[in-house]
Structure 1
Amino acid sequence: MPELTLYEALAGLFTSAFVSATLFPGASEAVLLTLVSRWPESIWTAVAVAAVANTLGSMTSYVIGRFFPKKVSSRALDWLAKWGGWALLFAWLPVVGDTLPLAAGWLRISWFKSLIFIFIGKAARYSALAFGFAQLF
């Protein structure tokens, strides 16, 4: 079996990170760390790809939330009611994090504010993960 190229690995990371941000399960962290271990010189590119794709996946949930006719997770609504768009910094968290963008869309929080907060949180998480992992080697 031929070895993957960096570009193929980045495309796989993009797909995994996008899917991981939706309500579907994914393994973007494992894909990111595998890519960083194989191509350590591409750590910034890998973090950027993962953060952008994961943000786009969350924004897909945001758009779905705009058209959602019923209430979404009460925990997510509580967080957003208390903290506003700032709660979206935690859209990377397991379980509740997936519902935060959905709730933000349902509550009609500004799409631009949502995009910025989601991206910052996800970029910080992927950066901490990738650079923390890189320190092990």
Structure 2
Amino acid sequence: MEDALMAGVSALLHWLAIPEVGLGAIFVIAFVSATLLPMGSEPAVFGLVKLQPELFWPAILVATVGNTLGGGLTWWMGLAARQAADRVRHERGHGPELQPGHDTPADHRALRWLQRYGAPACLLSWLPVVGDPLCAVAGWLRLPFWPCLLYMGVGKFLRYLSMTAVLIHVI
């Protein structure tokens, strides 16, 4: 029974790592998972590193670059959404600001928090559920792109490094 379980785990890791394309697959998976699409890249990174331990640092770095660039794309999507909303409001004669009554108090608190901390708040872009929308809101708020991208990269690097290292030692 234990041999069957280990064979199943090995097959799953082999499939997740996609070793035939290796680091290229890691880049694409990490990039796509940093957009607003709900998927995670950690299993693929872990699978590749588990099957090919010599790729630990290259996999961490490639995943970080792909995920950070995906966060940058999400930032640009947020900026584009803001510009489109501003055009629509201007054409309708409503001015550039949000209309009262359309947002909840929680929305205002979150926006004020992000405006208060600015680009360093993008360190939290690695968080599940809120990280990707955080990048989009940073673009919406027109926070400076390059500092946001830098903070995203640092947060995402630390996430990949810590999660992969822990999983390698645990599993």
TM-score, normalising length: structure 1: 0.87
Native 8 Å contact 2:122 2:134 kept in 1: yes
Q: Counterpart in 2 of 1:45? A: 58
Native 8 Å contact 2:35 2:74 kept in 1: yes
For residues 52 and 142 of structure 2, what CA distance do their matches in structure 1 show? 40
Structure 1 counterpart of 2:35, from 18, 22, 26: 22
Q: Counterpart in 2 of 1:56? A: 69
Q: CA deviation at 1:78?
A: 3.8
CA gap of 1:47–1:82, structure 2 versus 1, over 3 A, is same
Letter of the structure 2 residue corresponding to residue 57 of structure 1: G
Letter of the structure 2 residue corresponding to residue 37 of structure 1: K
Q: Counterpart in 1 of 2:148? A: 114
Letter of the structure 2 residue corresponding to residue 11 of structure 1: G
Q: Structure 1: any 5+ residue segments left out of the alignment?
A: none
Q: Structure 2: any 5+ residue segments left out of the alignment?
A: 1-14, 86-97
For residues 101 and 132 of structure 1, what CA distance do their matches in structure 2 show? 26
Q: CA deviation at 1:99?
A: 0.8
Query: Which aligned pairs between 1:4-15 and structure 2 lie closer than 5 A?
Result: 8-15=21-28
Asked which structure has the greater CA Rg, the reply is 2
CA gap of 1:80–1:5, structure 2 versus 1, over 3 A, is closer
CA gap of 1:76–1:57, structure 2 versus 1, over 3 A, is farther
Q: Counterpart in 1 of 2:121? A: 87
Letter of the structure 1 residue corresponding to residue 80 of structure 2: F
TM-score, normalising length: structure 2: 0.71
Q: Counterpart in 1 of 2:111? A: 77
Native 8 Å contact 2:75 2:136 kept in 1: yes
Letter of the structure 2 residue corresponding to residue 123 of structure 1: F
